[in-house]
Amino acid sequence: MKQFMDKDFLLTNEVAKELFFDVANTMPIVDYHCHIDPKEIAEDRKFENITQVWLGDDHYKWRQMRSNGVDEYYITGDAPDREKFQKWAETLEKAIGNPLFHWSHLELQRYFGYHGVLNSKTAEEVWNLCNEKLQQDDMSVRNLIKNSNVKLLCTTDDPIDDLHWHKVIKADETFDVKVLPAWRPDKAMRINKPEFADYMSQLAAVSEIEIHTFEDMKKAIIKRMEYFNEMGCLVSDHGLDYVMYAPASDEEIEKIFEKRLNHEAVTALECDQYKTAFLLFIAKEYKRLGWVMQLHYGCKRDNNTTMYNKLGPDTGYDCISNFAPADQLTNMLDAINENGGLPKTILYSLNPGDDELIGTVLGCFQDSKAVGKIQQGSAWWFNDHKVGMTNQMTSLANLSLLGNFIGMLTDSRSFLSYTRHEYFRRIMCELIGGWVENGEYPNDEKALEKIVKGISYNNAVRYFGFDVK
């Protein structure tokens, strides 16, 4: 019997162990998509206790606590942090087979030196150990990032953001990790949302361009993109419920836009038509600027109306959507390609059933302008566990070129989540090592090293054009 999460955790063959310890584990990290707050980096925040780090914004953990019958008072309510931590510890001991069990213990091992098991009985011990450790200077936000061997990270930023904290970080020569903005224009695209007209007013104010028409809006967006570009932005991201393709004339789009500015309702078709026009426009700008376009889709969000009204979005009430938009996806990508050329594009579906679909779509739009120009993104959200990652990489290997894969991202709001890169790398090395051990790929040390280093780090640096040392 193997010891619980020992040094060979998830590694069952010799090739896998060699690839992980000698190659993957030596590579730095680029975290090209996350949701951490740049203000906390600029101010080099120190956390008072482990609850602030683990439970403050983590809706992954909130969902499991609710599944364990924990009252909301101990989740998002005003319960003392120690009591919240206790409820999480009680929940975690039931999380056998859940990635949160692995992530939590990897974080305890790597950042706090704790190699025991967190449960209801050990909660007091772990609470005291972690909180004592968090008071040390090397546990400040900046040191957590640096000590995790992170070379660059991209935050997630709205077009109207002033990027003040990015400026502060950039001007501070004592911190050598690059923190770049990433462009997330969801609010400009979600014409069906009640706050759309108000958002257009905010965009107009920030861009100093009056917005009365769709053409005005495009000018304002382009002006903000130029500002983001000056601040080092190389990455965009879209959170889509699904990929749509509903082309319409310029005149039709202008009428739809005018309706929403006047707070009139739009139909489902009109909504899709506007979003199609927006994506066609914005993708052309990404191509011009050399930005990467990320499309996250396949999620049905905010399913519990009662709790949405109480807590708002991103609080743990989302699920996988089983709408697989194969025709719409390919038609949209083709239309973008005809409208000025596809930018580098990463496709993420929250539905693991879409893996094969995406794997075949990639091959329709690759060209010599970039290696692996169209990518399937890493297993996302509900899929970033052992089975999900293994299946995603296996599917990608079957249908495309795994050796060009740009690898892992945290998609996290936590400064301790960089162990997810270790988790991913162990799973990747186990998968590749198994193929070698089974005679499905030669035990070619140099070739394997290139593949593993590429997926761990080098491919992403090349793909995004990051300037890192």
**pLDDT tens-digit readout, 450-465:** 999 999 999 999 999 9
pLDDT at 62: 98
Phi-psi region of 465 (alpha: psi -120 to 50; beta: other; left: phi over 0): left
Instruction: Flag whether pLDDT at 349 surpasses 90.
Output: yes
Q: Where are the domains of the chain?
A: 46-139, 147-464
Q: How far apart are CA 38 and CA 142, in angstroms?
A: 11
Q: Which 3 state secondary structure label does DSSP give 45?
A: coil
Instruction: Flag whether pLDDT at 469 surpasses 90.
Output: no
pTM passes above 0.95: yes
Which amino acid would we find at residue 291?
A: W
Instruction: Flag whether pLDDT at 328 surpasses 80.
Output: yes
The pair of structure tokens assigned to 191 is 């014409």
Give the domain 147-464 fold: TIM Barrel (3.20.20)
Alpha helices in 2-75 (DSSP H): 14-22, 38-42, 50-55, 59-67
Instruction: Flag whether pLDDT at 228 surpasses 80.
Output: yes
CATH architecture of 46-139: Orthogonal Bundle (1.10)
Cβ contact 417:1 at 8 Å = no
Q: What are the phi and psi torsion angles at 292 (to 5°)?
A: -90, 135
Matching residue, tokens 């090397």: 138
Q: Which helix (H) or strand (E) holds 269?
A: helix 268-289
- Sheet strands (E) in 155-312: 178-180, 235-239, 292-297, 299-300
Q: Supply angle C-alpha 65, 38, 172, rounded to 5.
A: 145
What confidence tier does 142 reach under pLDDT thresholds 50, 70, 90?
Answer: very high
Report CA dihedral (323, 328, 329, 334) to the nearest 10 degrees: 180
